[in-house]
Chain A
């Protein structure tokens, strides 16, 4: 079929995205009247603000990509996914602040914690399936949330106030070198995306898709499905951890809400809005969610979540394949999409009985 494709034509979309996002701060800078040199020296005002929003979107998108790999591609619905993100965020904060380690050592620690967590989640993998897996992962993540929030840990984690005053490495300090941070976050997002694209075209990725489609059949074909799920778990855990590190480096406070179920749901919503198993949907969804949230907060203050909630419900009901998914299919295909969602959420049996 498709034989040889050059790197450029294969990753055209993401490379255009990369170029546009790279130029965006300078273009915005021109509009607000600061010349590119000023933007380069982080002297822009509005462009600097937008860079900040961009960084938050990129972090969300990296997190959502890892969730899409786990949930969309492999069909493992984890409600504890944010644990990977939060553990990395707190580990980074504590190592920088309390232990005073240099950044490269922090990154080594993160690699370690992400592997340990993925293996922890993998212990339950061969034993529980479907909704039970979802609940066990929720339990694991809630445990971490409770530990973070406990008053015994207040010196390390700051309990419910959050982890404050993490010293930022000077060369990437977001308040001074924001453009550099912006480019680093963008670059990581693009690299993760390209890696994921390659992964789903690799033999391992194809088997992951087969596991989502029909796990018992994949086993009969001779695949040790648990091993494949562990590999996917490791990749997803590591990616989410990178997002967690960026989060701590960027945000002034590491709030315990990132260890909450709500943050996993944010990842899930990004994937749903962008399009399940499309990968690029995670990036689109992250933009939609962040911009929607910001826009509504400006207009309606604290009642904004009500409207975002309604938007999510409408999306799931009427755009089940998400933005990218619907574009690819060339239509909304609502009924077919519902069936797909029902299957994805492991609710098929529930709906069969009602018939």
Chain B
């Protein structure tokens, strides 16, 4: 663990819901320019960890450090301005606005013109152009004027990705970007994520259930179970880890209770 370029780390992060420790003393480090996957069975605390990192939830204890700065005390709307973009497990878009407007709003927030009430939106420099660029990147160019709720589920996931890409963040937190997608569409989206990560020298933290996808694409894997980090390592190490296998088979339940 020497000389690693760490972009984000959590230190002893915990979050309790009543008596339940959803995230319990988690310390992970994410290296710059990697695709870091977070896996674990249902209820392992992956999404809670995401919410803690992105500021949606405040931790019970512990801190999140991003590029040497503490994130824990910042309000949610500051995150993207720090270069931290986040997607949701459940599709979270503006349902009645067009795909273009969805992406355009994501772009606009990074420019300093938000309170110019006498300025026409189309006259903000580079805002529309950037939105079209992003729509092309995620392959929604033809559907740009379709309202979000009329898009197919797969397209909504792409739109969601587009909304995170638009502000050009350094670190992308993707919470199951392929959730609910038809299996033949999954590789397409994963390739896209991989491409974005490699070309733009970005860091991606990804929650994913599809093990093949994770094993093939991730640079580093953290396995969570019962709110704790169970194992960490490169895909090959994780694949051969006995504990991880039992966790996914459910054998660990008895162990824990005893």
What are the residues of chain A within 8 A of B167 when measuring CB–CB? 221-222
Query: CB of B96 within 8 A of chain A?
Result: yes
Q: Are A217 and B97 in contact (CB under 8 A)?
A: no
Chain B interface size, as a band, is: 35 or more
Task: Give the contact stretch, choosing among B4-12, B13-21, B86-94, B180-188.
Answer: B86-94
What are the residues of chain A within 8 A of B110 when measuring CB–CB? 222
Task: Give the contact stretch, choosing among B114-122, B224-232, B234-242, B244-252.
Answer: B114-122
What are the residues of chain A within 8 A of B101 when measuring CB–CB? 206
CB closest chain-A residue, reference B106: A221
What are the residues of chain A within 8 A of B93 when measuring CB–CB? 214, 217
Given contacts A213-B95, A214-B93, A222-B109, contact A203 B77 (CB under 8 A): no
What are the residues of chain A within 8 A of B67 when measuring CB–CB? none
Given contacts A206-B101, A210-B94, contact A222 B80 (CB under 8 A): yes
A201 to B119 alpha-carbon distance, docked (Å): 8
Query: CB of A296 within 8 A of chain B?
Result: no
Given contacts A220-B86, A222-B81, A223-B109, contact A213 B97 (CB under 8 A): yes
A217 to B101 alpha-carbon distance, docked (Å): 13
What are the residues of chain B within 8 A of A203 when measuring CB–CB? 108, 111, 113-116, 119, 121, 124
A227 to B114 alpha-carbon distance, docked (Å): 10
Q: Are A206 and B121 in contact (CB under 8 A)?
A: yes
Q: Are B118 and A218 in contact (CB under 8 A)?
A: no
Q: Mark A199-226, 1 if CB is under 8 A from B, else 0.
A: 1011111110110011011111111110
Chain B 113-140 residues near chain A, CB threshold 8 A: 113-122, 124
Given contacts A206-B108, A214-B93, contact A220 B115 (CB under 8 A): no
CB closest chain-A residue, reference B87: A220
Query: CB of A231 within 8 A of chain B?
Result: yes
Q: Are A204 and B81 in contact (CB under 8 A)?
A: no
Query: CB of A198 within 8 A of chain B?
Result: yes
Query: CB of B196 within 8 A of chain A?
Result: no
Q: Are A220 and B80 in contact (CB under 8 A)?
A: yes
Of A210, A213, A216, A221, most B-chain CB atoms within 10 Å: A221
CB closest chain-A residue, reference B124: A203
What are the residues of chain B within 8 A of A221 when measuring CB–CB? 77, 80, 105-106, 109, 163, 167
A270 to B78 alpha-carbon distance, docked (Å): 38
What are the residues of chain A within 8 A of B105 when measuring CB–CB? 206-207, 210, 218, 221
CB closest chain-A residue, reference B112: A203
A245 to B120 alpha-carbon distance, docked (Å): 30
What are the residues of chain A within 8 A of B75 when measuring CB–CB? 224
What are the residues of chain B within 8 A of A199 when measuring CB–CB? 117
> 17 A–B contact pairs at CB < 8 A?
A202-B117, A202-B118, A202-B120, A202-B121, A203-B108, A203-B111, A203-B114, A203-B121, A206-B104, A206-B121, A214-B93, A217-B92, A220-B56, A221-B109, A222-B77, A224-B75, A227-B115
A contact set with B: CB distance below 8 Å: 1-3, 198-199, 201-207, 209-210, 213-214, 216-225, 227-228, 231, 235
Question: Given A3-B122, A214-B95, 19 other A-B contacts at CB below 8 A?
Answer: A1-B145, A2-B122, A201-B121, A203-B113, A204-B115, A205-B121, A206-B121, A207-B109, A213-B96, A214-B92, A217-B92, A219-B77, A220-B54, A220-B56, A220-B76, A221-B80, A221-B163, A221-B167, A228-B114
In the complex, the 10 A-B pairs of residues with the closest C-beta atoms, listed nearest first: A222-B80, A222-B109, A213-B94, A204-B117, A224-B77, A219-B77, A219-B76, A202-B117, A221-B109, A221-B106
